[in-house]
Structure 1
Amino acid sequence: MSFDYRKLDLKAGLEVHQQLSSHKLFCNCDSQMLQQPKDEIFRKQRAVAGELGEVDAAALHEILSNKEFHYKVYPEESCLIEADEEPPHEMNRNALEIGLKIALMLNCEIPEEIHVMRKQVIDGSNTSGFQRTAIIGLNGWVDTSFGRVGITDVEIEEDACQIIEKTDKKAVYGLHRLGIPLVEIGTAPDMKLPEQVKEASEKLGMILRSTGCVKRGLGTIRQDVNVSIKKGTRIELKGVQDLSKIPNYVDNEIKRQLDFIKKKKPVPKEVRRVNDAGSDFMRPLTGGARMYPETDIPPISIDDKYLKRLRKQLPELWEEKENRFMKQFKVSKDVVKQLNRMGMSEIFERLVKNGHDPKIVSFTLTSGLTQLKRKENVPIENLIDDHFNNVFSAFKKGKITKDGILSSLKQLANNPKAKIETGETVSDEASLRKKIKEIINKNPQVKNAPRPEQACMGLVMKELRGKADGKLVMKILKEELVK
């Protein structure tokens, strides 16, 4: 599929939403999302006319569905603020500082005062019916190989509830995600080519990851693409996860709008969810001017002295870090790029500086985790920095072997609150040989298996749980199985 984008007057923009690694924005609740729910709240919401006497079209669309909203409560990850039963506390200063650094890295102007506003939310994903958001950067820019792309605004805001179950008449949400700090980056509709949208999205992701203060894993970053063409209208495309598919998503939307134009029908303003074949209707595109002052939170003053200090603390961009990693840690360019793509560069550097072997660490964080995800569908997105620190610390102390690193991470990914299964490693060959003989004697049928070494290897490693070196185990197995 190919179009004359200049003739079509393609205009595209991005909205990037990235969770920050800190406690919640307006309370001190944890934001790890590891707990199980203990209670449930039931609510119904309805829209009313605003000061201009009009009801928002998107709000009316939701109200006509007559939905019930149920909210799961998590004791340490939600409180009365998430339940909308207590006013918000002061904004989390750590989260604000991370957001301001991101705005500065995007060459934005920083307001002298930061005002928290209320933005209407009408799908039940916020118990209050609005989202708290504050502009922290304006009029920035980011360069691409196709030209400069304007950054219209950067906001820090609270994330919405996590959707758990949804039917035509009922929605069930989790309060543990509500209130997690988000940075939202909005670009100007400066992009004229689908490939430029893809490149700008990758560049913004690189800048965010360079801070080392953003969350990793599924759902921690969400990207929306806005698309319009001549005689068409602006359409917001949601659900973009794979950045390599952005050009295809843009082309599909162009084709969809051209079909309306050829039939001489107006293109309705909509929010749509992308899929490989095109997109599906979600809701009408909301009206403008839906933000109102948050009267429970006073303005926050930002002075030049504070900004000067933040500028000195800005992290190096990943593009700058790439060469340093190759020289300092002796890892290949491909490995460095994979660490960045998987959001593992910061934990890699910390682990290596703590004395761990760069090759073992880089393999674990890239190929090792990828294998766990692809072959065994292990939820590696559940792993946090403490998990990696604890596992590599156990390895360094001899409590697990190199082969036990991935099995320990698999255990923690499946049960994030579990403790690492450690014990004395079996490094003495005589002791290990004795153990292997016992296992073979208990399972004599393995000698008749098509591949006896592999069959017995599974039994040995299952019993020893990473407490013996795999190469040594295989050497002994080959010797014992021929006896």
Structure 2
Amino acid sequence: MEDSFYRDVGLKVGLEIHQRLDSHKLFCNCPSILREEEPHSWISRNLSVSYSELGTIDPAARFESLRRRNFLYGIYFDTTCEVEIDEAPPHPLNEDALEISIQVALMLRMKPIDEIHVMRKIVVDGSNTTGFQRTALVALGHGESYIETSKGKVRLETLCLEEESAYIVESTPEFAKYRLDRLGIPLVEISTAPDIWHPEQAMEAALKIGRILRATGRVQRGIGTIRQDINVSIEGGARQEIKGIQELELIPEVIRREILRQQNLLKIQEELRKRGIDEKDVDDPIYDITDALSQTGSQLIKRSLTRGERIFGMRVKGFRGLIGKEIQPERRFGTELADYARVFGGVKGILHGDELPGYGIGDEEVKRIRDALSCDDDDSFILVIGERSSSTLALESVRSRIKFSIRGIPSETRRALPDGNTSFMRPMPGAARMYPETDILPVKTAPIINRIRELPKMPEETVSELIKEYGINSELAWDLYDEGKISLFKKLVSYGAPASFTAATLTSTMRMLRREGENIERITEDHLVELFRFLGDGMLAKEAVPEVLRGIARGDYSSVHDYLKSYSMSLDELDSLIDSTLERFRDKVLERGDRAFGMLMGEVMRVARGRIDGSIVSERLRIKLKEFLKT
């Protein structure tokens, strides 16, 4: 799309970057490490919501309380403690984590506040055992606090230090299971102003902020250690908080699809106005219409009725053709409604009038449904299959969302999906969710700032030095920086392989293998050191590197030496191959003389490629050709 399009739709985007810090947990001394094995024990909890100091209840918290779910928490006796399970008060704020966050603030030209006060942010979805997340404002932006992008400045507003949430293992309408190994890991959160007006600009700003975070050398690396939330709105629409984008490359697509979603929702609103539909028009009762489908041929319905479930429905006046309208690729307005039904009512989904006949439900059965719900020609309907209480709750939540579509677009917290679409998570939180933490004393920042004698090099300076010292191009240098492989590169290049080849092996070759589905986590630093030593000694050909790494990733070889023993070519084997090739092409060699070298090299390399260095082949072939022509 042209840049003018984003200006015309009034696109506004703000970023929230969350980065885990490389320090022990924020309010206890437990290590910030993630566990893969089954927790040693589980505990059960229920959470409830209370009024804030202002006498109000946060809408997101109220929403979660309506679900009345039970929460199970997995604990590890050696790496979690009573603080995580809320059986002991929090320790003082981790000053190492606070120092890192202040260092980041100074690198971003933000102003640390004089005194840190920890706040509680109400969270009752089970991701915190306490029912709230602890967070502290560390620094504020000012006139010099911004990220320069190719499409303009992006101002930085706040930098906070907060605790990571628990890791969700399983979620159902009745309960959720979390592991507590992740809970309490320190996170720095950087929020920008809504200055971003182009999808690619959002990715660029997020990339630059992430690079500055990595420049400290004191942040965790790897999948899940940094994530981006984005706030998106367009003119006439509403702000959406889209959470959990872990891949930078996905940010522009999420924004583009959110623009499309809001534009299509506005078109639905406009069409409803033309049809004269008001909110009171969608107040029809909910009916049990099981009898209308008791003799259906639909296997979906039959299986549900066999389980003792019922079919509930309601008319949606004037909505015919709108519930089935596509609002994002492969997602329709009905999908949005189904999200509400699933989240609030715990049902599997909905059936609606715009998609029937279908699912084995025929024309005659649709007619019986419409008659049972008193639908006119312009009306649609929503069906839910389940037990009465959950189905009623699901349909009432759908009704609420339908009513809002007549008013406009609701502000929501949404989840980013792998294809760039989003789905409803919960209502947008409000100001009532924050209140002071009374168990932790304030911390003055001046002594910590005084301890920070020197700031790390900025990313641009580090990359510039890398290019100058090793002669690699800018793209390779930034790849090494972004993937945290500069130190390893400097170590490996000392064994004599070309710098650009070494850099490309660590970056593009590894990415290629990952895309192919290879388990590159099996490739250790020791493997790479061994690989580049053999390359430097001429015992391994550069062409063989991808195959060697692929074999190690698959477990075919435990070391590079194992590969060499099974696949490499000795000098004796090479000499024998050259001799047989010279004999096979004797007439052509005698006819062409030295000019036969290129042809011979190609023939020998067909067999030797990847098994021995090409420069060795070339050297041995020249010697052998010279001797052959003398005889």
C-alpha distance 54-409 of structure 1, shift in aligned 2 (>3 A): farther
**Aligned residue number for residue 449 of structure 1:** none
1:287-366 alignment, distance < 5 Å: 287-303=430-446, 306-310=448-452, 312-349=453-490, 351=491, 362-363=503-504, 365-366=506-507
1:126-145 alignment, distance < 5 Å: 126-139=128-141, 140-145=145-150
Distance 1:372 1:424 in 2: 20
Q: How far does residue 270 in structure 1 lie from its aligned partner after superposition?
A: 0.3
**Aligned residue number for residue 54 of structure 2:** 52
Distance 1:127 1:360 in 2: 49
Distance 2:502 2:31 in 1: 28
**Aligned residue number for residue 20 of structure 2:** 19
Distance 1:149 1:278 in 2: 25
1:82-481 alignment, distance < 5 Å: 82-139=84-141, 140-262=145-267, 263-264=269-270, 265-275=407-417, 276=419, 278-303=421-446, 306-310=448-452, 312-349=453-490, 351=491, 362-363=503-504, 365-378=506-519, 380=521, 388=525, 406=549, 410=553, 471=612
Distance 1:423 1:258 in 2: 56
**Contact persistence 1:364–1:406 (CA under 8 A):** no
Q: How far does residue 471 in structure 1 lie from its aligned partner after superposition?
A: 4.0
SS in 1 for 2:153: strand
SS in 1 for 2:209: helix
TM-score normalised over the length of structure 2 = 0.60
Amino acid aligned to 1:100: I
Higher helix share: 2
Q: How far does residue 82 in structure 1 lie from its aligned partner after superposition?
A: 1.1
Distance 1:285 1:22 in 2: 31
C-alpha distance 379-392 of structure 1, shift in aligned 2 (>3 A): closer
**Contact persistence 1:30–1:76 (CA under 8 A):** no
Q: How far does residue 425 in structure 1 lie from its aligned partner after superposition?
A: 7.9
**Aligned residue number for residue 342 of structure 2:** none
**Aligned residue number for residue 440 of structure 1:** none
Amino acid aligned to 2:34: M
C-alpha distance 395-278 of structure 1, shift in aligned 2 (>3 A): closer
Amino acid aligned to 1:219: G
Q: How far does residue 323 in structure 1 lie from its aligned partner after superposition?
A: 1.9
Distance 1:144 1:34 in 2: 38
Amino acid aligned to 1:32: I
User: Deviations 1:214-271 (Å, cap 9, x if unpaired)?
Assistant: 2222111110111112222111112323323323322222222223333143211101
User: Deviations 1:30-74 (Å, cap 9, x if unpaired)?
Assistant: 223145221111111111222333222111211222212111112
Distance 2:550 2:440 in 1: 47
User: Deviations 1:365-402 (Å, cap 9, x if unpaired)?
Assistant: 3245324422344264x99xxx63x656777999xx98
Q: How far does residue 110 in structure 1 lie from its aligned partner after superposition?
A: 0.6
Q: How far does residue 428 in structure 1 lie from its aligned partner after superposition?
A: 9.5
**Contact persistence 2:27–2:184 (CA under 8 A):** yes
Greater CA drift, 54-63 or 100-109: 54-63
SS in 2 for 1:70: strand
Distance 1:370 1:5 in 2: 33
Distance 2:492 2:90 in 1: 40
**Aligned residue number for residue 7 of structure 1:** 8
Amino acid aligned to 2:94: N
| Residue identity (%) | 40
**Aligned residue number for residue 316 of structure 2:** none
Distance 2:117 2:549 in 1: 46
- TM-align CA RMSD: 3.8
C-alpha distance 124-470 of structure 1, shift in aligned 2 (>3 A): farther
Distance 2:121 2:487 in 1: 34
Q: Unmatched 5+ residue regions in structure 1?
A: 413-419, 437-456, 458-468, 476-483
Amino acid aligned to 1:77: T
Distance 1:423 1:180 in 2: 37
Residue 64 of structure 2, aligned match among 62, 81, 84: 62
TM-score normalised over the length of structure 1 = 0.77
Q: How far does residue 145 in structure 1 lie from its aligned partner after superposition?
A: 2.2
User: Deviations 1:186-239 (Å, cap 9, x if unpaired)?
Assistant: 001112222322221121122112222222221111101111122221111123
Distance 1:57 1:239 in 2: 21
Q: How far does residue 330 in structure 1 lie from its aligned partner after superposition?
A: 4.1
Distance 1:369 1:323 in 2: 23
Greater CA drift, 196-205 or 337-346: 337-346
Distance 1:410 1:423 in 2: 11
Greater CA drift, 82-91 or 30-39: 30-39
C-alpha distance 331-397 of structure 1, shift in aligned 2 (>3 A): closer
C-alpha distance 359-118 of structure 1, shift in aligned 2 (>3 A): same
SS in 2 for 1:61: helix
Q: How far does residue 4 in structure 1 lie from its aligned partner after superposition?
A: 3.1
Distance 2:59 2:245 in 1: 24
Q: How far does residue 309 in structure 1 lie from its aligned partner after superposition?
A: 4.7
SS in 1 for 2:112: coil
Greater CA drift, 88-97 or 179-188: 88-97
SS in 2 for 1:323: helix
**Contact persistence 2:52–2:435 (CA under 8 A):** no
Greater CA drift, 210-219 or 125-134: 210-219
User: Deviations 1:431-463 (Å, cap 9, x if unpaired)?
Assistant: x98xx9xxxxxxxxxxxxxxxxxxxx9xxxxxx
Greater CA drift, 121-130 or 208-217: 208-217
C-alpha distance 247-365 of structure 1, shift in aligned 2 (>3 A): same
User: Deviations 1:90-131 (Å, cap 9, x if unpaired)?
Assistant: 222222221111111111011111112111112100111111
Distance 1:272 1:306 in 2: 37
Distance 2:204 2:220 in 1: 21
Distance 1:88 1:394 in 2: 47
